[in-house]
Structure formats: C-alpha cells, structure tokens
Structure 1
C-alpha cells in the first residue's frame, strides 16, 4: 500500500522542513512526497533542496505561479502514483504512527476515505495501540466538517478534485461530494498537529463572513449534485446564517 503525500507550499521556509521531517520519520515507509510550490517568493525552494540532499526519499517538487491552494492540491493529485492520497499542509505535522495506523484501517477494502483527530500540541509523546473508528453519516457531515485537511486520506480511485472556484470551505465541499458515493470514517486519534486552530486569527478561515459565504456556496453546490437535498436547502441556509450571528455575538460578549 503506497501513499502519495501532497503538500501545497507558499512562502513556507520557516515550517516546511518540520513538516517534511514528520513524513520521513513515519514508522510506515511506503510513500512518496509531492510538493507543489504555489509561487513562493522566499527561500522555500532552497530549504527543500537542502532537506532532500543526500536523502533517498521519493519526492517531486513542482513550481507554479500563485494560483491558490485548491489548484495546488489538484496539481499534486494529478502527479500522484500511490494507491492512497494523504494531505498535509506546510505548517502542520503528523504523528510518527499516522501512516501505520491509517494503513491498518485501510486494509479493510470497504474503506476508501478516513479522517482523524488533530492537536495543537506538537509534543508527540504517545504511542498509540488502540483507537475508535466511527462511520460519519452524510447528514452529520452536512452540519459540520468532520476532519481538518491534513488528517484526510482517500483512495486515489475515488478521490475527486477540489473546487478551484472556492477559496473557503473547499475542503468540506469536497468531502461532501465524495460522501455522496462513499462512506467516510473517523479515527479518534490526534494524528496531526495543525499550525493554528481552525477559525483562529491569521488563517483563511479567520474571515468569518467570507467563510460563511463559502459555506452557503458549498450547500448550493451540493444540492446541485444531490437533488434530494433540495427541500433541505432553505434550512441549511438558515442554519449557516444562525451560526454566523451566534459567533458574532460570542465575540462581542467575550470582549465586553
């Protein structure tokens, strides 16, 4: 079972070596690394060259003009040769057992897509021997994104492409599209360290209204793919707007 690890990068000289270390130090070794540089203007390229110098690690480095993370990830998917695709961001890391645990789960041929938990603590001191695996229903996924992108692993044969016209919630939209024809599973172990908490200041998701518009577009797209959801569409819109107002109010009262 070979994994293709896709890492989009943009001005990542300060974090990319740490991310790559977390891949090459995996206990499971059958993988390739696909790095798609989305127009970096810093020394990211040189850091990557130095990292792989004298290392016998299967990898590809691809440079493109700045086009956005969805286009970068799609380019990476196109270049893969592995049976399974795993996503990692340049400021995130994996637990050393991530691919080992995931490969054991995927040995069940009926499982095509899994995600797992994450942590903000980069001290991976635990050795994991057991875990809980649960099926994620489509209705649950409609309400909440079940996993961050650096936790997703998907069989290449069923992997669809990110919507390149979406800048927000493009990951959630992709999981929903794939969930129409595939069952999704969630492993409760925190096998990824993410560089910042979702919706925290500094990330794309920090722009709450833009995020909400992205979610509304996501629901519109999914209704087009799955016509049976059309009666639910007004309720999904109301639910999304309710979350936006609730979060605004929470922020207001937290400051006062």
Structure 2
C-alpha cells in the first residue's frame, strides 16, 4: 500500500462514521486506515467491526484503556502499527474530500512534511451531513452548504479554489505551514527518528510540537491547506484545561529554544 491514514477518536461514533465514509470514497484507494482510539467504549468497536465489511481498504483499530487524555500515546501506538513508509494524519471529526489522500501523495517529498488545514462547519450542518451527502460530496460544495445556513466568508475560498488558484493561495497565505494533527503527513522514518509524539503532552499544541522537532531535525514544511481539504465537524471540548495548555506551552518553548529533535517520552516508552 502507498500510505497509512491515521486518525484519532474518542467516544464519537457518529462523527467517526462520517469520516470513514469520506475515506471510503477516495479517488486513491491504495491505503490503510488506522484508528487511534484513546479509550472509547464498546460502541466504537461495534461500529468499526461493521464498517470493516463495508469498505474496500484495511481498517485497523488500535485501542488502549481510558486513562484520561492520552492522544499522544495512542498515536504513537498507531505509528508503530502502520505498515507503510508514508503516514497521513487526521482526526475522527474531519471528513476528507475525495482527493484528500491523492493530494497528500502528490505533494510528498523527501526532506519535507505537509501541512494542511480544515474548513470548520457549525454544529447544525455537521449533524445534517448524511452518507449520501459524503458520497455526492455535497458537504464540500459551497452552494449546498450555503443552502443549509453557512455564512458567507472569505474562508469559503478553501472549498471553491482548485488548480492554479489553490497553488497561489498556498503560496500567499500568511498562515505558517505547521504540523496540524487534523491534516498533516510525513515519512514514517522521520517521525520514528524523532521518537514520535511527546507523551508528556495533553491537548493543546501537542501536534505542533512534533512538527517543531521535525524542523529541528532539518525538515522543511510545505503548505497544502488550499489543496488537501477536509471539513471539521463541530463538537464540545470537555478535555481542554488551562493547566495542560500551560504545560504544553512550556514544553514547546523548551523544544524551540534548545532545538530538541528527539523526545525522551515518545515511541520507545510505550
């Protein structure tokens, strides 16, 4: 297989199902799906057991017991479980457009990681999206979204741009190409060499910190936020807390100041 798509989840079956439907209709089908499950209950396993029989690519479920927010640890386990040399990362609340995997493969390059973004949807539209809407790609069509109540905004260009315009927008956007957990990819060997995600970190910049260590290693980042498109489904974030943000900020500052490449709390400490 050409690549592995790793996506994180936690007790969010309705959103996860929509994401897997999105992956099932990709124009590039030569990939495996790895679910990095941070301790979901049995309903997630039931869902995946059913979907495994309905899609055409391997669906691997990596799970550990619920011990609070341990996303970095389960992502490291998923990295180890992957069987390809190129890894695409997203989240269980981001439906990928049908060319999502193909775009990541098109722009992959030795010495780089790829940085994509997302188009955030309000809760009412997130709930409205059906399997048919994903198969027909309605949830990526601006006219359909506007008809469901989406507000007009310059950000809507993420959905309407293509070809040369996407390349121009990628080049001129002021947003830096960072490692964004909902839409990023890189070579497995590079991620292994930096020891994966820092398992000291909880929610808040833990994805960015991995990218900062890749940069310290000597990699460059490539912007594809207007080319690799996914829509983000709205939900609450009860796992967010100020203490974790503060700790993560301090770790990131230390990583940047000291040019840290390899975390001491990563894959080899699973």
TM-score, normalised by the number of residues in structure 1: 0.74
The SS at the match of 1:53 is: coil
| Structure having greater relative contact order (Cα 8 Å, sep ≥ 6) | 2
Deviation string for 1:147-169 (max 9, x for gaps)? 53111011112114010011131
1:146 Cα offset (Å): 3.1
Give the Cα–Cα distance (whole angstroms) in 2 for the partners of residues 166 and 135 of structure 1.
32
Give the corresponding residue for 1:202.
237
Q: Give the alignment's Cα RMSD to 1 decimal.
A: 2.9
1:87-166 counterparts in 2 under 5 A? 87-106=89-108, 109-121=109-121, 123-125=139-141, 126=160, 128-130=162-164, 131-132=166-167, 133-134=170-171, 146=178, 148-159=180-191, 160=194, 161-166=196-201
Q: Which one is further off, 185-194 or 85-94?
A: 185-194
Give the Cα–Cα distance (whole angstroms) in 1 for the partners of residues 89 and 199 of structure 2.
16
Give the corresponding residue for 1:191.
229
1:39 Cα offset (Å): 1.8
Give the corresponding residue for 1:230.
none
Give the Cα–Cα distance (whole angstroms) in 1 for the partners of residues 113 and 207 of structure 2.
13
1:169-180 counterparts in 2 under 5 A? 169-180=205-216
Q: Which runs of 5+ in 2 are unaligned?
A: 127-138, 142-159, 262-270
Contact 1:86 1:150 in 2 (8 A): no
Give the Cα–Cα distance (whole angstroms) in 1 for the partners of residues 260 and 61 of structure 2.
37
Give the corresponding residue for 1:235.
none
Q: 2:258 aligns with which of 217, 224, 229?
A: 224
TM-score, normalised by the number of residues in structure 2: 0.70
Give the corresponding residue for 1:214.
248
- Number of residues of Structure 1 aligned to a counterpart in Structure 2: 216
Check 1:87–1:10 CA distance in 2 against 1; reply closer, same or farther (3 A cut): same
Q: Which runs of 5+ in 1 are unaligned?
A: 228-256
The SS at the match of 1:117 is: coil
